[in-house]
Amino acid sequence: MKFKNYEIKKIDDHLFEIPKSGSMLKPGRVYANEQMMRQLLSEEEPLQQVINVAHLPGIEKYSLAMPDIHWGYGFPIGGVAATDWDSGVISPGGVGYDINCGVRLAATALDSSAVKPKMNKLVEELFRTIPTGVGASNAIKKLNKKDMTHVLREGVYWVVEQGFGNEEDLNYIEETGKLDWAQPEQVSPRAIERGQTQLGTLGSGNHFLELDEIDRIYDERIAEVLGLFKGQIVVLIHTGSRGLGYQVCDDYLKVMGKAAQKYHIALPDRQLASAPINSPEGQNYLGAMAAAANFAWSNRQVIMTLAKKALLRVLGLSESALDFHLVYDVSHNIAKKEKHTVDTNVKKTVCVHRKGATRALAPGNTAIPDKYRSIGQPVLIPGDMGRYSFVCIGTQKAEEETFGSTCHGSGRLLSRHKAKKIAHGRDIFKEMAQRGVVVQARGRGTLAEEMPEAYKDVADVVNIMHSSGISKKIARLRPLGVIKG
């Protein structure tokens, strides 16, 4: 295979390498099958972005891309890069506009047969309770500036104190729902203003809340540790830091553009604007990004609590009968200080950029909750609203090859514009109903943009990472009810 002037080397059936060439500092690696690679070759932009990222000062090992790779701002979505903490750079393009967009899975004690007859009412109540769409707001009372400082600094800890969930939830959130190095003072007044009314809201685009049925178990032992069983009703939440995170990214892209010139950082794409991690600009961005990440975890915590209350109202059950509890919450748009093996048997402190990629730590890692430490970190991979999503776990191979990272979703095949064009004249609501999925959305345009054909089949993406040994399939979730913006 050839891409421009690069001879792409096939490492195995699910891994391809773009050799280091020209001013690249490291090779690029793409996890994909042959068919996906041919599609990427025809698109050009995502592979070019993999090559561009390989120019980041301080990059370690490889510029990586997962099989859900598609074009993004600076980095491809599905991109992973680790830079040396002492001599490398931080790039907002490696996190993205939706800081700490991520996925949360909550489970119930209910079998789907008991819930399906009330699915329409459940979806209506969820849609009424959880604001969706562009500019969605006022799920709870508007937060004042003091409250916002608490959320940005303390994350889910503060939200739980306000009555949203319980302390046990903290154990099952990546980083326990709080990055200690958050600096609310580095978040602009405009970003704070945008966040004041948006805690507990889904937003638009591919963000959603689903009522899912577990329709397949691949590993009974691990599923049992996770508390999952066939036929179980679970809730899957996919959203991020809303307008606050978007504003933080937008603010710091301007800062980083100037910083790249100040520190003489030469990059092939201005969208990769970066600053040294230990520069004032780099540290300020990391502090603001961490604050936005804390807001996103808090947002998902509030949404989960609102969803639980909606289920209790419609189903008329006691809390003990519902047994609604958090399984795990994981981010897929973030940059963090971590230790990883870079050279043989040498661990190094690096800044891992995961943009459209999920942390996937191996069994035994101390960052995993005690309950799950023997099996590996839960990994949540959402698909499209018409097919399925997956629960996986991280592996030792992920820590060895991908800085403890795996895929994050299905990955777009069609732009939103193309999806709308193809959907013209179709009734996507009706099509979803024929698939057995009850959907409520803010508008037909959103539903057209998010129709299943707009995405790769997430099973193909998950199977590549499973076959590569990077993450392991545990359960498949089938959507029954969906709310979208």
Q: Which of 372, 391, 424 is the last residue of a domain?
A: 372
188 and 320 together in one domain: yes
Specify binding-site residues. Answer: 98, 206-210, 238, 332-333, 382-385, 389, 408-411, 484
290 and 302 together in one domain: yes
In angstroms, what is the C-alpha Rg of the chain?
A: 21
Q: Which of 348, 372, 396 is the last residue of a domain?
A: 372
In 294-359 the beta strands, taken as DSSP E runs, fall at: 325-331, 333-343, 346-355, 358-359
Note the pLDDT of residue 225. Answer: 98
Select from 223, 283, 380 the least CA-distant residue to 89: 283
Specify binding-site residues for Mn(2+). Answer: 98, 207, 238, 332
Note the pLDDT of residue 313. Answer: 98
Mean per-residue pLDDT of the chain? 96
CA distance 225 to 216: 16
73 and 218 together in one domain: no
Note the pLDDT of residue 443. Answer: 78
pLDDT per residue, tens digit, the chain (485 aa), is 999 999 999 999 999 999 999 999 999 999 999 999 999 999 999 999 999 999 999 999 999 999 999 999 999 999 999 999 999 999 999 999 999 999 999 999 999 999 999 999 999 999 999 999 888 899 999 999 999 999 999 999 999 999 999 999 999 999 999 999 999 999 999 999 999 999 999 998 899 999 999 999 999 999 999 999 999 999 999 999 999 999 999 999 999 999 999 999 999 999 999 999 999 999 999 999 999 999 999 999 999 999 999 999 999 999 999 999 999 999 999 999 999 999 877 899 999 999 999 999 999 999 999 999 999 999 999 999 999 999 999 999 999 999 999 999 998 888 888 888 888 889 999 999 999 999 999 878 888 888 888 898 999 999 999 999 999 999 999 999 999 97
Structural domain tally of the chain?
2
Q: Which domain does 139 fall in, by range?
A: 102-335+373-484
Specify binding-site residues for GMP. Answer: 206-210, 332-333, 382-385, 389, 408-411, 484
Please give the order of strands across the beta sheet that includes 346-355. 9-12, 15-18, 28-31, 63-70, 77-84, 346-355, 333-343
CA distance 67 to 356: 11
269 and 385 together in one domain: yes
7 and 35 together in one domain: yes
169 and 297 together in one domain: yes
295 and 437 together in one domain: yes
Q: Which of 316, 349, 372 is the last residue of a domain?
A: 372
312 and 349 together in one domain: no
- Phi, psi (rounded to 5 degrees) for 478: -110, 130
Note the pLDDT of residue 344. Answer: 74
135 and 208 together in one domain: yes
CA distance 480 to 387: 10
93 and 107 together in one domain: no
Note the pLDDT of residue 445. Answer: 83
Note the pLDDT of residue 346. Answer: 82
128 and 185 together in one domain: yes
3-state secondary structure 435-454: CCCEEEECCHHHHHHCCHHH
163 and 189 together in one domain: yes
Active site residues: 408
**What is this structure's pTM?**
0.97
CATH of the domain at 284: 3.90.1860.10
